[in-house]
Structure 1
Amino acid sequence: MKNGKKNTIVIKIGGSTLGESDSSLSDIIKFSKEVSPIIVHGGGKEINKWIAKQGIHPEFINGLRRTDKDTRDVAASVLSGLINNTIVSEIENLGGNATGLSGISNSLFECKMFSEELGYVGEIIKVNSEILRKIINNDSIPVIAPLGINIYSNKTEDNILNINADTAASFISNNMRSEKLIFLTDVEGVLDHNKRLISKITKSQATELLKSGIISGGMIPKIEACLNGIQNGGSAHIIDGRDSGALLQCIENKIIGTKII
């Protein structure tokens, strides 16, 4: 705790780990007595399933989903509806207290379109985190769906933008000056050129791994999010969310996954 206030921990739950029989949500409830957790969730697997039903094929550019209007509509429904409510209900069923919201709620994420190439993908310009502080002060866990409001939109249909969940988590972490930014993934962490786990790296070393191409694909936005999310201090962690107790070990400063400082 700092000055009698709980430290903030931002946890990004990956869509690739949702539905796995891990202990992440029960772990979050356990340590919520000591720290203030904020959950940001993805939903890639579930979104892919639903857009496939619509005959839409997912397309990724540098690890980021290209989002046309139809894909955006499906993603918004799945993220803020099905997945967000599922996580909130699971926390409640485990005896915790959670509040579901999206980045559109109280203009949490003010955005502009990232690029024409990516379509309805938001670039966060401003984070209005007062709503998160209110939720935390009410002893509830914020559960955030990664959507944002397009403040430059002239059309109602262009108001909602999809945001990469890793990026959303990093902006929340930076804004809230979190103690830890933790990414729960379906891999054990960052691997070197010999595919061996790197347990600890500095920000400069992470930057070099990006430049060298050792870090590639979907790990690129994760590392970029780590670097962005700890600009105001703290540490970032990439761990395997499928392993029982992994999150609790990370909170307790055990050696697990990859730590970026």
Structure 2
Amino acid sequence: MEEELAGQPTSNQPPGHPIVVKIGGSTLGSHDTSLKDLARLQQEGREVVVVHGGGNVISQWMQRQGLAPRFVGGLRVTDAPSLEIVVAVLTGLINKELVSSMHEFGGRSVGLSGIDGSMVEAKIGNPELGFVGEVTTVNVDLIRSVLDSGYIPMIAPLGFHVRDGSEHAGSPLNINGDTVAGELAYALEAEQLVFLTDVAGVMDGGGRVIRRLDRRRAGILSNSGVIQGGMIPKL
């Protein structure tokens, strides 16, 4: 992280074009320096937006409640009991731990979710996944206000169902964090979109890291099953 971001000159960032960073649940580990690096970027005058995950912690809490985590195409199946845990863990436990850690490292951060400020509107695309949303609309007004106030928005990847008159209208939805990060980066016209994860990168069939990947090759690798699981939404 430090080599990729923290060493860049402050003057290189175009005004109003933040860096959007997606951090995974591994960032909660005691030996990860990502939050410290992000705090340093802020201290250097960079605008940073963070979208966080927390899948491992969600799975742990589900198992404590006797629920078995299930995934389809790298996305978590979220039924009604699971949704309560997802919302509580992402917005309550993980989000506040990350904000607290950011403050410890000298950063200034505000904890949010995609529900706040009508930030992320979505709809249920695949009923097999339950309360999992596909993003339809993004509103970044709240994010810009937080950035203008000198804080890092720390965003939990939730959204609310479009108000379409259906039984789910206005309900919270679980949304893949990589997808949320990508949508926000596009809406914010971000300078960079960075995915921080505990794996080296996208691997080929021989287990080697692919340094550069275009859309065509990504499609081939995905269709052949080489790219699978949680790497699918990143691409």
Task: Report if aligned partners of 2:179, 2:233 keep a CA contact under 8 Å in 1.
Answer: yes
Question: Normalising by the residue count of structure 2, what TM-score does the alignment of the two structures yield?
Answer: 0.88
Equivalenced residue count is 223
1:43 to 39, 44, 54: 54
Whether contact under 8 Å (1:111, 1:126) holds in the other structure is yes
Residue 22 (1) aligns with residue 35 (2)? no
- Give 2:83's aligned residue: 72
**Separation in 2 of the partners of 1:169 and 1:26?**
20
CA contact (8 A) 1:7 1:35 kept: no
Matched, 1:5 2:5: no
Report if aligned partners of 1:6, 1:34 keep a CA contact under 8 Å in 2.
no
Task: Say if 2:192 is the partner of 1:176.
Answer: no
Distance 1:65 1:123 in 2: 13
Q: Secondary structure at the match of 2:204?
A: coil
> Superposition RMSD on alpha carbons, in Å?
1.9
Residue 212 of structure 1: how far off its partner (Å): 3.0
Please tell me whether residue 159 in structure 1 is matched to residue 178 in structure 2.
Answer: no
CA deviation string 1:61-107 (max 9, x = no partner):
01100000000000000000000000001111111100110000011
Give the structure 2 partner of residue 226 of structure 1: none
2:79 is the counterpart of 1:89: no
Taking a change above 3 Å as real, the CA distance of residues 216 and 22 of structure 1, as seen in their structure-2 partners, is: same
Deviations 1:130-156 (A, max 9, x none): 100000011100000011111236557
Partners of 1:158 and 1:128 lie apart in 2 by 16
> Secondary structure of the equivalent of 2:128?
coil
* Bigger proportion of residues as helix: 2
Q: Distance in 1 between matches of 2:45 and 2:203?
A: 32
Is the 1:6–1:35 contact (alpha carbons within 8 Å) kept by the matching residues of 2?
no
Offset, 1:20: 4.1
**Equivalent in the alignment of 1:192:** 204
| Selected match of 2:222 from 182, 197, 210 | 210
Opposite residue 58 of structure 1, the aligned amino acid is: P
Query: Does the CA-based 8 Å contact 1:113-1:120 persist in structure 2?
Result: yes
5+ residue gaps, structure 1, are 224-261
Which letter does structure 2 place at the counterpart of 1:57?
A
Native 8 Å contact 1:9 1:36 kept in 2 = yes
Distance 1:184 1:3, change over 3 A: closer
Which stretches in structure 2 are left out of the alignment for 5+ residues?
Answer: 1-10
Q: Distance in 1 between matches of 2:132 and 2:51?
A: 17
Q: Which moved more, 1:1-10 or 1:102-111?
A: 1-10
TM-score, normalised with respect to structure 1: 0.80
Residue aligning to 1:141: 152
Aligned counterpart, 2:121: 110
| Preserved contact between residue 13 and residue 184 of structure 1 (Cα < 8 Å) | yes
Kindly state the Cα deviation for residue 6 of structure 1 after the two structures are TM-superposed: 5.2
